[in-house]
Structures are given as structure tokens and as C-alpha cells.
């Protein structure tokens, strides 16, 4: 198990028991190593600074015990934000209909970058579907390097009305 998988395994359970869901764990940086934990409330309500502080306190203690990272690092806890990364299969279904950017590790139909309306996740085929300016594309989830929503007026309106698919 690589460090990324180990970190996800360590933090996911405790977050769940506190009423949160793990969106992403990312460890990066050489001169100032940072462990970023991105979470959201399971009840669909907006994350608060107090939520982030609560998660930070509990994860700090847990990570001190587990000690998965050698050397010092900074722990950052945050919410995904409006133009959130799409990291889980359910994200592609929940946020279908909104504009997104995808980047693939390997070329799909001769390209690696896609921008357009997210069509959802094809669980049978394990691919993310997106309608681009040149037509539909299907990017296998296993080949997905990154995916995130694009900040648009439509997305802002949906999220501020509480129609963010979380409740």
C-alpha cells in the first residue's frame, strides 16, 4: 500500500464516525510538506471553520499515533469549495449537468484534456462521460488524472439554493 492509500485508510473511518465524508487526501511539497485533507459534511450542510478545526484536532492526534509520514509536515483541513475536485465515482453522478474539466493520464480519442458538461459516471464501463464541444467523450476512471467542477453562474446558483446534490 502506497502512502496515499495508507493516508486515505487512516483518515476515512474517523471522519465517517464524526459525521464527515472524505473527499480527497493529498500529500505534497518538498520544502514545506503539506497533508491536505478535504472533507464535507454527510448531512449536506456547508462546512464551517469549526468543522475544519474539529477534524484537524482529531486527525492530528490520530496521525501522531499512526505516524505514516516521516519528518515534519503541515496539516491542512478544508472543504471542497464550489469548484470542487471530483474524486469519487458518486461525484460524477451527483454533479452531472454541470461544467467540468477532466484530465486523463492517457489519450482518449487523441486528447488528454476535456472541458464540457458532465454527463455522469458509467458504472458498468467504469468511465466518466462528458459532453465537449466536439461531442461526447468517455474517460475511464482508472485513467483519470484530475477532475473538477468549473465555477459558473449556474453552479453558484445551484449551490447557494442548496441544490448541490448533497441532501
- Per-residue DSSP letter, 47: P
Residue with cell 471542497: 80
Domain extent, residue 50, equals: 3-78
- Pick the last residue of a domain from 78, 106, 137: 78
* 95 and 146 part of one domain: yes
Q: What is the CATH number of the domain that holds 70?
A: 3.30.300.70
CATH code of the domain covering residue 135: 2.30.30.100
Pull the grid cell for residue 106: 492517457
Residue 36 CB contacts under 8 Å (≥ 6 apart), including other chains: 24, 25, 26, 27, 28, 76, 78
Tell me the whole-structure pTM to 2 decimals. 0.81
Q: Residue 115 half-sphere exposure, CB side, CA atoms within 13 Å? A: 3
Same domain, 156 and 94: yes
Judged by DSSP in three states, 96 sits in coil
Q: What is the dihedral sign for C-alpha 36, 42, 46, 52?
A: negative
pLDDT tens digits, 119-163: 998 767 789 999 999 999 999 999 999 999 999 999 999 888 764
Domain stop point among 78, 102, 124: 78
Q: Retrieve residue 75's grid coordinates.
A: 496539516
Number of domains in the chain: 2
Asked if residue 165 has pLDDT above 70, the reply is no
Whether 84 maps to a domain, the answer reads no
In this predicted structure, what is the pLDDT of residue 116? 97
On whether both 72 and 107 belong to a single domain, the answer is: no
Same domain, 98 and 60: no
- β pairing state of 74-78 and 34-41: parallel
Same domain, 72 and 103: no
Give per-residue pLDDT as tens, 43-52.
988 899 999 9
**pLDDT of 52-90, one tens digit each?**
999 999 999 999 999 999 889 999 999 998 889 999 988
Q: Which of these, 74, 97, 88, lies nearest to 155 by C-alpha position?
A: 97
| Residue from 116, 113, 107, 163 nearest 135 by CA | 116
DSSP bridge partners of 75 = 35
On whether both 70 and 98 belong to a single domain, the answer is no
Amino acid at each position: 500500500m502506497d502512502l496515499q492509500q495508507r493516508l486515505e485508510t487512516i483518515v476515512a473511518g474517523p471522519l465517517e464516525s464524526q459525521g464527515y465524508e472524505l473527499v480527497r487526501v493529498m500529500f505534497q511539497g518538498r520544502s514545506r510538506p503539506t497533508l491536505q485533507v478535504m472533507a464535507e459534511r454527510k448531512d449536506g450542510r456547508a462546512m464551517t471553520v469549526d468543522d475544519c478545526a474539529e477534524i484537524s484536532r482529531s486527525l492530528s492526534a490520530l496521525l501522531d499515533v499512526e505516524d505514516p509520514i516521516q519528518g515534519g509536515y503541515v496539516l491542512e483541513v478544508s472543504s471542497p469549495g464550489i469548484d470542487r475536485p471530483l474524486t469519487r465515482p458518486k461525484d460524477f453522478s451527483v454533479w452531472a449537468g454541470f461544467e467540468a474539466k477532466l484530465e486523463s493520464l492517457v489519450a482518449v480519442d487523441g486528447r488528454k484534456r476535456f472541458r464540457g458538461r458532465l454527463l455522469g459516471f458509467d458504472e458498468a464501463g467504469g468511465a466518466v462521460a462528458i459532453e465537449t464541444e466536439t461531442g461526447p467523450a468517455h474517460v475511464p476512471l482508472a485513467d483519470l488524472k484530475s477532475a473538477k467542477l468549473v465555477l459558473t453562474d449556474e453552479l453558484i446558483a445551484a449551490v447557494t439554493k442548496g441544490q448541490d446534490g448533497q441532501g
